[in-house]
Amino acid sequence: MYFNSAYWNNSRIDFKDKTHPLFVGSCGMYRLITRPLLPTHRPRGRLDFQMLYIASGKAQFYFRGVERMVPAGHMVIYRPKEEQKYRYYGADQTEVYWVHFTGNNVRNIMRQYGIADSDQVIFTGTSLEYKRLFTQMIQEMQLRRENYEEFLVLLLRQLFILLHRQMQQRPKAKSGFLEKEIQQALQYFQEHYNSDISIDAYASSRGMSTSWFIRSFKEITGVTPMRYILTTRITNAQSLLEDTDYNIAEISRIVGYEDQMYFSRLFKKQNGVSPSEFRRQSRRVPENPDG
């Protein structure tokens, strides 16, 4: 299991802040690699709000006693004093980012960005931008540079803005049918991302034209199917670079690229650094999780 987290004042005790409209109390991420199960159960919830982003794999949540499997590309929101019960399984290779926040105007701020009081699971699609914002929050809280608390709030607001944009882009009239089809496509791409996937063949297998499938996929997720597959490959390459000792050529093949040079060019284009430099930057000792 790999994890990285940070806490305001280095305290893992949750709290309610009444002096700021919005305040970030802690944030982090974890990725199950060898651990078979990571359960969380807080019968009385917490004093603050929590938002979790399922970046890959899936997670088993319980809302008012009802089980719901939440796949990658969704965010889950818990409000103060709501029971929190969820599980991650190692077999699903789940990767989750989380943030706890509080304040005296949180509900109104969330409503401002289209997040209703009743929303618990929000479809977001998967994006490296979400991971970038969460990672930057973790780093800011760990480094505690000047005005970091204010910067954390700005980063959280950026996350809210991205969620709002995604929700605004979703088609209204046929969302039920589309979401079911796209969820199946997301699951298929997650399971076969390192294979030679033919978008034409997949669309045909679902009785859809390629152009309709690509257009519908982008309406729901905000990206094309090939862009989603690329993001999944690069995300999994990042995990392998951080958590294993495979060399670059091996990682390239594992995520679906036989040509190591081509893989390295794609990786640098997405991350701004080469795979080897990314590995050097990411090798640091993490703190304990509390998501």
Q: Is 160 among the domain residues?
A: yes
Question: Does one domain contain both 203 and 267?
Answer: yes
**179 or 103: which carries more pLDDT confidence?**
103
Tell me the average pLDDT across 1-25.
Answer: 90
* pLDDT confidence band for 112 (50 / 70 / 90): very high
User: Each residue of 198-236: pLDDT tens digit?
Assistant: 999 999 999 999 999 999 888 777 789 998 899 889 888
Classify residue 205: in a domain, yes or no: yes
For residue 223, the enclosing domain spans: 175-282
In contact, 149 and 24? CB cutoff 8 Å:
yes
User: Do 269 and 240 belong together in one domain?
Assistant: yes
Percentage with pLDDT > 70 across the chain: 93
- Residue predicted with more confidence, 92 or 102: 102
Number of domains in the chain: 2
66/204 same-domain check: no
The pLDDT confidence band at residue 240, using thresholds 50, 70 and 90, is: confident
pLDDT at 242 (0 to 100): 77
Residue 34 domain-assigned (yes or no): yes
Note whether 19 and 117 are same-domain residues. yes
User: What rounded mean pLDDT belongs to the chain?
Assistant: 88
Print the SS3 string covering the chain: CEEEEEEHHHCCCCCCCCCCCCEEEEEEEEECCCCCEEEEEECCCCCCEEEEEEEECEEEEEECCEEEEEECCEEEEECCCCCEEEEEEHHHCCEEEEEEEECCCHHHHHHHCCCCCCCCEEECCCCHHHHHHHHHHHHHHHHCCCCHHHHHHHHHHHHHHHHHHHHHHCCCCCHHHHHHHHHHHHHHHHHHCCCCCCHHHHHHHCCCCHHHHHHHHHHHHCCCHHHHHHHHHHHHHHHHHHHCCCCHHHHHHHCCCCCHHHHHHHHHHHHCCCHHHHHHHHCCCCCCCCC
Report pLDDT for 35: 75
In a domain, 271, yes or no: yes
Quick one: pLDDT at residue 171?
A: 52
Decide if pLDDT at 175 tops 70.
no
Do 152 and 223 fall into the same domain? no
CATH number at residue 234: 1.10.10.60
- As a whole number, mean pLDDT of residues 282-290 equals 51
Q: Is the per-residue pLDDT at 288 higher than 50?
A: no
